Each structure stands twice: as structure tokens, then as C-alpha cells.
Amino acid sequence: MALKIGVVGMRGIGTKHAECHDENELADLVAVCDVIKERADKGAEKFGVAAYYCLKDMLAAHPDLDIVDVCTGGYENGSWHFEPTMEALEAGKHVLCEKPLSNQVVEARRMVARAEELGLYLGCNLNHYFTQPADEAMERMDKGEVGEIVYCLHKMGFPGGELTYGGAPSGFRDKGFPYFHVKAFLAHPFSIMRHFCGDITHVQAFMDKPGYRRTAGDVMLSVNSIHVRFASGAVGYLLSQRGDTTFGLGGWWSVEIGGTRGSFVIENCVEKLTYYPARGTEGAAVPENMGGFDSPTPVVTNTGITDFGATFPTRIHAFLEDVTNGVPRADLRSSGRDALATLEYTFAAIESYEQGGILVRPKALPPLHGQVEPES
């Protein structure tokens, strides 16, 4: 039977989520909610469901709801996630929450802990690795075609430059927040690095902004240069920026992961995977036919997909599938705990920057307890 869904926060992203539920056979969208009446009413009319103006009323009217999908935003795009998430969990509902889980790591820790205590699923919309290139790269890793990971180089951000600069942020969610980009955005690139390379144990960061932002009185630290070490021993580097320049190689989104048996690069998130077999491995060109610096011929998969929006239905489907199948909570894809990891790294980066670039060990994640499989 389809899962009954209520979406909270019906602006751009909430409407996108509602569309995904509406078109998914595992979901039965029954209600939408926004504290601004016109937005809730507009969503209700579009999807032919009931409108509510506070979550309490939505929960009371639909005691059979299975999932509350939290698409509120707030300061730094995350300050309005804690309250509706906790309210829905206390009402016994599974929750899918937008990223970042919160703009405060202490709140995110409480959200993850409470879901675990109540035995409920808490998922997060870390949608950037619900793609064909990421799946194919993971298949190659699982088959041993990448080997031991040596390094991860990741660039993700917004193209721009001083000629397209629109002035200091003026919205309620970004105005006056130096860490707006850091808190609102880094959940995505950190989720990619952790997806492929595992937990991060050491973080060192430099942050700054170009002169034209300074002149405009813009406090946002729009350039983030972050060096990390993974628990595996691999090293990594993340460069994120918010519209101060264009990225050259790979455009707005690229990740390069180097392993002892092969390396891969994903470009434009959804679009292209290039696999570079290492010399001597199966699939590599005959080494004696190659000169000193020649590399074996790469294998390119071009999906033909360029719209990043394609990640939303895929990620939301994965959450619906996991809840439908009753997977062990520890196996939930893109879980609240995964999202908490990205916030621990984000707050470690902030601490490193504030202390002049010191090395910071992110706080350890809560343990995974696993669940006993029923005897068959």
C-alpha cells in the first residue's frame, strides 16, 4: 500500500518534493502545509489535496500519515527544520528533511538521536549522489576496479564573478550571516566525499571572500578551501565558492577520486562519468605500447542528462523504497546520521577557520546499533 505523505513548507523545494510524491506509485500525497496560507492553498489546489497552516493541525487531521516531508528553510536555509521534524517524530511519523538538517549542529544531533530512540526513519535530501554516474562509479568500486582510494578532489559551487555580483545578501536567510554558504551548501559536497571515501577524521580550513564583496560590506565567507583526511587514510580536498569565479575543469560540480587500480571523475553531477583504469589492470591498454606518461584509454559514460533537478525524484524514490521495504534503520540511504556527518565536518571547518587554520577532529557520529533480523 502506498505511503501517506504530508509535505511541510510549500515554496520552491516543497512544491518540487510534492511533485515527486505525486508522481511516485509508492506515495500517496494527502496533505500540504505552510504557515503562509496562500502557499498552502496553492499547493493544495495544484495537487488536489488538503491544505493546512500548521503542522499540528495536519497531524491531527491525518493520524494515518506515514511520512512528513520537511521542506522548510529558515536562517542559513536550516533554522526551520528542527521544530517540525521533532514534532512529526513525536507524533510517530517517519521524516524526510531537506538539507542542511539544521543550521546548528547541536539541533541536528538531537534530531538524529530522537529518531533513533523512537525507532523511526529520519532521512535527508542529500540528493547529489542519487545519479547514474555515482551508481556506476560505486559499482566499479565494489568490483575492485578503483582499488584502495588514495585521494579525493572535489569542486562544487556556483559559477559567477564580479561582473555578475548582485551585492551583499539582503534576504532574511542570508543577510549578515558569514557562514551562510558554509552551512547552507557544504552538506552536498561533504556528502559526496563521504559517500565514496567514508568518514572524515581530520579537517583544516581556510575561508575568505574576494575584494569586491569586502567593498560591498558583504560578510559572507564565499570561498571555502578545505583539506581533509579520511578514516581510511586517504586524503581529500574540497573547494567550494559561491559565485566568485567559474570553475575550469569539470564546471560547477566535479569530483575526482584516485585509487590504486583506477580513478574516476564525475562531471556536472548527473551528466558524465570517466573511468581511468590504472596501468596493468584489466581494461587498461597494453603497458609496453605506452610511452612514459601515457595513460590507458579512459572509459566515458555520458548519460545525456544535464538537468540537476533529475536528482529529486530519484532520491525521493529511494527514501520511499527504503521505508516501504522496512530496511534496517542503519541501512537507510542518505539518513539523518549521514546528514549529521556533513554538519560535523562543516562545524569542524568553521572551528578550523576561526582558529587560523588549525587541524580539527570532527565529533564522532553516534554508534550504529543495527537491528536483529527476524528468524525466517
Ligand X SMILES: NC(=O)c1ccc[n+]([C@@H]2O[C@H](COP(=O)([O-])OP(=O)(O)OC[C@H]3O[C@@H](n4cnc5c(N)ncnc54)[C@H](O)[C@@H]3O)[C@@H](O)[C@H]2O)c1
**Footprint on this chain of ligand X (rule: CB under 6 A):** 8-14, 33-36, 39, 55, 71-73, 77-78, 80, 83-84, 98-99, 125, 127, 184
Cell of 112: 538524529
What is the nearest approach in angstroms of ligand X to the Cβ of residue 361?
Answer: 27
What is the nearest approach in angstroms of ligand X to the Cβ of residue 208?
Answer: 23
The residue number with the shortest CB distance to ligand X is: 9
Nearest residue (CB) to ligand X, 85 versus 263: 85
CA gap 153, 300 in Å, rounded: 19
Nearest residue (CB) to ligand X, 70 versus 360: 70
Nearest residue (CB) to ligand X, 53 versus 206: 53
Beta-strand runs (E) in the chain: 3-8, 27-33, 50-52, 67-70, 94-97, 122-124, 149-156, 200-208, 223-230, 235-241, 253-259, 262-267, 272-277, 299-302
End-to-end CA distance of the chain: 23
What is the nearest approach in angstroms of ligand X to the Cβ of residue 204?
Answer: 26
What is the nearest approach in angstroms of ligand X to the Cβ of residue 53?
Answer: 8
Nearest residue (CB) to ligand X, 207 versus 269: 269
Nearest residue (CB) to ligand X, 73 versus 250: 73
What is the nearest approach in angstroms of ligand X to the Cβ of residue 360?
Answer: 24
Cell of 193: 566525499
CA gap 219, 180 in Å, rounded: 9
What is the nearest approach in angstroms of ligand X to the Cβ of residue 331?
Answer: 21
188 alpha carbon, distance to own chain's centre: 4
Query: Measured between alpha carbons, how far is residue 222 from residues 18, 82, 357 in Å?
Result: 31, 25, 16
Nearest residue (CB) to ligand X, 84 versus 258: 84
Cβ-in-10-Å burial (0-12, 13-18, 19+) of 319 comes to buried
